[in-house]
Structure 1
C-alpha cells in the first residue's frame, strides 16, 4: 500500500496490519475482490499486485481525476474492472450489474464512510459474499454523516434491523488498528481534530465480518456464571471417545 501512497499503509490508518493477518495465507487463492470507493485508484493498484489471481472490481459514483486515474487503471485490464454507478440507488441491483450471490471472496467498503452508506452497502452487497469470505468496513469514525463508533460499537440497537441481523448471524469483530502505531502524534497532526483526537476518538476503526456457511439462528448459549470456571461444569474426557 505504501508504494501506491494509500492511507491504508502502516504509518497511516495501519489497515495493512490486519490485511496481512487475514489475507497472507489466501492471497493466491482469492479470485474476486471488490472495493467500494475507487478515488485515485491507489488501493486498486495494490490489490492487483497482492492478489495475482483475482479479478479486482472497484465501484464509485464518479471519477476523481478521470484524465489520470481512469487512464492509469486501464493499464491493469483485463483483471481490473471499474464501475461508475451509485449502488445505493433503489433501481440498481447487484444481479443487474452481473454479480451473482456468493460470488465474491472479499468485499471492502471504503466509500463515503457515513453510517447510512455503510448500512446500505452491507445490506445490498453482503449476499454476494461467499461463505468463508470477508466483508470489511473501513474508517468507522467519529465524524462525517453520523458517528459510526457510537452506533456500530457503542449502541448497535440504533442500527437498522437488517444490519444487525447480518452482524449477529455471522462472525463479526471490531478492530482498532491505531494500537501500536509508531507515529501516532504525527498522524493526529495530519488528520486534524475532526477525524482523530486521541487513541480513543479516531477513525481508524474497522468492522470485519466473516460469512458463516450456516448463519447463527439458534438461541444464544452463555456459560459465564453458569458452567465456565465451575468444576461442576467441566466436561470429563473419555479416552475412548472419538475426536471431534
Structure 2
C-alpha cells in the first residue's frame, strides 16, 4: 500500500510539474553515486584527528542536561548540544520566543527557559492534552496536531513572533514537512529552524530539506563588469541550510538580501578559453 501511494505521488508529480519531475529523475544517478561514496568513505586524516568531548565545557545547555538527574524527563542525542550552542548562543539573554514541537515529559521546556533567560518565552506544542500541566512562568502550551495546517494557522494568531523553532515532535516526514512549510515563512528575521531526529537512509524529510538547497542556488546572472543576480523570495529570506547527523537547521537572514553579486577586482586577467564547437 505504501509503495502504491508513493507511485501515485510520482505519477502526479510528472503530471503537475513535468519539468521539475524530469530534473529530479536526472538526479537519480548522482544520488546513487553519493550513497555509494558515503557507504565506502574512508577518512585519510583519521590518524591525525584529536578526540574531543561530546560538548564544550562552556555549553550551558550541556551542563543543564548533565545536572538534570531528577524531575521532568529530557532525552536528547548528546551531539545535539554542540549544534544547539552553535546556532542558539546569539539569542541568550535576549527577548527571544522559542517554540518546541513535541513536549513529551516536559523537561526540555525548563531547559530552554533556563538557557535563554528570563526575557525569553517558551512555547510548547504537543498532541497530548496532559502536556498542559507544563505551563508556567514564561512557558505556554498549545495542544494540537503538527500535521494539521489549520492548527498552525490558529497558533500563529495566538503566539507572538517566533525566533527559534525546534521540531522534536512526531518525527514522521509528513509532520516535519508540514511544520516547516507552515512556520518557516513566519519565523522572525534572523530566526532559526531546527528539526531533530531526521533518521535513516533516504529519509523523505531529509530529501525535502536537501532539495531546498536548489532554491538557495538559483541564479539568473548575466556576464558583465559586475556579475549580479536578483534573488528569489526564498534566497532573500534564507541565509543557510545546515545538515548534521539527524538534524536539519535553516537560518533566516537578519535583513532580506535582494541581490547577489561577484565584483571583479584587479587588472590582469587570463583570457577565457573558447567553448568547444
Per the TM superposition, whether the score is higher than 0.5 is yes
1:15–1:213: structure 2 CA closer, same or farther, 3 Å change rule? same
Deviation by residue 1:75-120 (Cα, 9 ceiling, x = unmatched): xx121111111243243314664135xx112111111122211111
Q: Which of 116, 134, 141 is equivalent to 2:174? A: 116
Offset of residue 171 of structure 1: 1.9
Give the 5 Å matches for 1:148-163. Answer: 148-153=205-210
Give the 5 Å matches for 1:11-50. Answer: 12-50=77-115
Distance 2:75 2:104 in 1: 12
Structure label with greater radius of gyration: 2
Distance 1:112 1:166 in 2: 26
TM-score (norm 2): 0.54
Offset of residue 216 of structure 1: 5.5
Distance 1:27 1:33 in 2: 11
Please list every run of 5 or more consecutive structure 1 residues that lacks an aligned counterpart in the other structure. Answer: 160-164, 177-203, 234-244
> Residue 250 of structure 2 aligns with which residue?
209
Is residue 51 of structure 1 aligned with residue 116 of structure 2?
yes
Distance 1:157 1:28 in 2: 32
CA contact (8 A) 1:141 1:147 kept: no
Offset of residue 2 of structure 1: 3.2
**Whose helix fraction is larger, Structure 1's or Structure 2's?**
2
Distance 1:166 1:38 in 2: 30
Deviation by residue 1:123-157 (Cα, 9 ceiling, x = unmatched): 1112331101111111121179x54344433x569
> Residue 2 of structure 1 aligns with which residue?
66
TM-score (norm 1): 0.61
Distance 1:107 1:150 in 2: 20
> Residue 238 of structure 2 aligns with which residue?
170
Please list every run of 5 or more consecutive structure 2 residues that lacks an aligned counterpart in the other structure. Answer: 1-64, 216-232, 271-277
CA contact (8 A) 1:30 1:105 kept: no
Relative contact order higher in (CA < 8 Å, ≥ 6 apart): 1
> Residue 159 of structure 2 aligns with which residue?
99
Offset of residue 17 of structure 1: 0.5
* Aligned-partner SS, 2:141: strand
